[in-house]
Amino acid sequence: MTPRRLIVGISGASGAAYGVAALEMARSAGIETHLVVSRSAMLTLHQELGLHKADLEGRADVFHPVSDVGATIASGSFRTMGMLIAPCSVRTMSEIATGVTSTLMSRAADVVLKERRRLVLMVRETPLHLGHLETMVRLTQIGAIIMPPVPAFYARPTSIGEVVSHSVARALDLFDIDTGAIKRWGGLKAGIRDTLLSE
């Protein structure tokens, strides 16, 4: 049985709140988390959330320095449910797509792919040029899931926190981790649907 253990990566793209929320929600669901943070993400975390390295270390079960390519998560023999990179920068996405493993972030992602485990990339970039799109196609072909953090307005979010929580909870759904944080779509009520369609 696969341990309920998830690797969480936070890269330097805007949207550091997604990674922090992933750690908190996974922990609440009883998942052991292994965190790796890129150097540029440390800057983003401070700029966007006022967080430092020490603030992150307490939010994960294990914190792995991005330069530690000898960490447990760099080996396929260390069993996990997979890896979520939230947010995922274009640089990190590109390294993974080309098999470049210059840091623990890209190495851990490469391991997840070679072991046929789930890799979910919450790519945070817009607009996208052809190179970005081709890279996403390549990643999809080799087994990754590209999941940009697109808000779900049917849930009628009233705060940024709700938008972030819903996107992260949907990403964790892909690992069969139910956080209980999603307002799941139950379809329009018959009376409302009939009224709207008759107008």
Those residues whose C-beta lies under 8 Å from the C-beta of residue 72, and which sit 6 or more positions away, are 34, 62, 64, 78
**pLDDT (tens digit per residue) in 117-164:** 999 999 999 999 999 999 999 999 999 999 999 998 888 899 999 999
State both tokens at 153: 């307005």
Nearest Cα neighbor of 35 from 91, 100, 104, 81 is: 104
CB 35 within 8 A of CB 59: yes
**pLDDT (tens digit per residue) in 97-111:** 999 899 999 999 999
| Half-sphere exposure at residue 55, Cβ-oriented, CA atoms within 13 angstroms | 9
**pLDDT (tens digit per residue) in 159-188:** 999 999 999 999 999 999 999 888 787 777
How high does pLDDT run on average in the chain? 93
CB 36 within 8 A of CB 12: no
For the chain, domain boundaries:
5-198
CB 87 within 8 A of CB 164: no
Give the span between the Cα atoms of 26 and 188, in whole angstroms.
30
Using alpha carbons, list the distances in angstroms from residue 10 to 15, 37, 130, 148.
9, 5, 24, 14
Higher model confidence: residue 114 or residue 195? Answer: 114
Under CATH, what is the fold of the domain 5-198? Answer: Rossmann fold (3.40.50)
Q: How confident is the model at residue 45 (pLDDT cuts 50, 70, 90)?
A: very high
Q: Using the predicted structure, report yes or no on whether residue 198 has a pLDDT greater than 80.
A: no
| Half-sphere exposure at residue 196, Cβ-oriented, CA atoms within 13 angstroms | 6
Give the span between the Cα atoms of 21 and 27, in whole angstroms.
10
Give the span between the Cα atoms of 177 and 5, in whole angstroms.
11
Give the span between the Cα atoms of 146 and 128, in whole angstroms.
13
